[in-house]
Copies of this chain bind each other. A is one copy, B any other.
Amino acid sequence: MKRNKPKYMQIIDAAVIVIAENGFHQSQVSKIAKQAGVADGTIYLYFHNKEDILISVFREKMGMFVHKITEEIEKKETASEKLLVLIEHHFKNLSENPKLAIITQLELRQSNKELRQKINDVLKDYLFVVDEVIKYGIERNEFTQIVDVRLTRQMIFGTIDEIITNWVINEQKYDLVELAPAVQRLLLNGCGK
């Protein structure tokens, strides 16, 4: 496993394209190899097995994503602003990479228990960032003291995730990023008066 050689990312990028275009179950290893311009066997010099390609795709892309978002959030003072930045970046990141969006919202979910477990491990970094924003908001007394952090995180992530999934299913027909402020308002104040 040599994960820093150029062919590694070459295969990752090929996988993103192939999976987004063909769907998870129609993305044979040979198809990814062809797209990457390598032989089938070469895949196995860089990945343990097919599942490993998938989880690696997610890990690489999500790693970059979490890194960028952490940077941006640190620049903001208030928890509300941090929340807005989080939503905006999540929306923006996937808006700019519709193929990646198809994979994270649709294709990656077509996996079995074990694979999904590994995906969740990767996701933890992101959920940790969400948790930090919530705790920060509570500390600063911007957020209500009575909320449960886990429940709040599930609301925030669940809402963002559902909105993006709907956007993907509707074939990205509308602008996702401009929804961010409304989503922030909903999450902060709810739908009640």
Task: Please report A residues at the B interface, Cβ cutoff 8 Å.
Answer: 23-26, 80, 106, 109-113, 116, 120, 134, 137, 141-144, 146-148, 150-152, 154-163, 166, 169, 179, 182-183, 185-193
Q: Closest approach, in angstroms, between the C-beta of A137 and any C-beta of chain B?
A: 7
A151–B160 Cα distance when bound, in Å, is: 10
Query: Residue A120 contacts which of B144, B151, B169, B179 (CB distance < 8 angstroms)?
Result: B169
Residues of A contacting B: mostly: helix
A5–B122 Cα distance when bound, in Å, is: 46
CB-CB under 8 A from A151, the residues of chain B are 163, 179, 182-183, 186
Q: Is the Cβ of A158 less than 8 Å from the Cβ of B148? A: no
- Among A110, A134, A151, A158: residue with most chain B CB under 10 A: A158
Query: Residue A144 contacts which of B147, B155, B191 (CB distance < 8 angstroms)?
Result: B191
Q: Closest approach, in angstroms, between the C-beta of A141 and any C-beta of chain B?
A: 7
Query: Residue A193 contacts which of B143, B179, B183 (CB distance < 8 angstroms)?
Result: B143
A179–B147 Cα distance when bound, in Å, is: 12
Q: Closest approach, in angstroms, between the C-beta of A125 and any C-beta of chain B?
A: 16
Closest residue to A155 on the B side, CB-wise? B159
Q: Write 8 A-B pairs (CB below 8 A) sorted by A numbering.
A: A25-B112, A26-B112, A110-B110, A144-B192, A144-B193, A155-B159, A155-B163, A161-B162
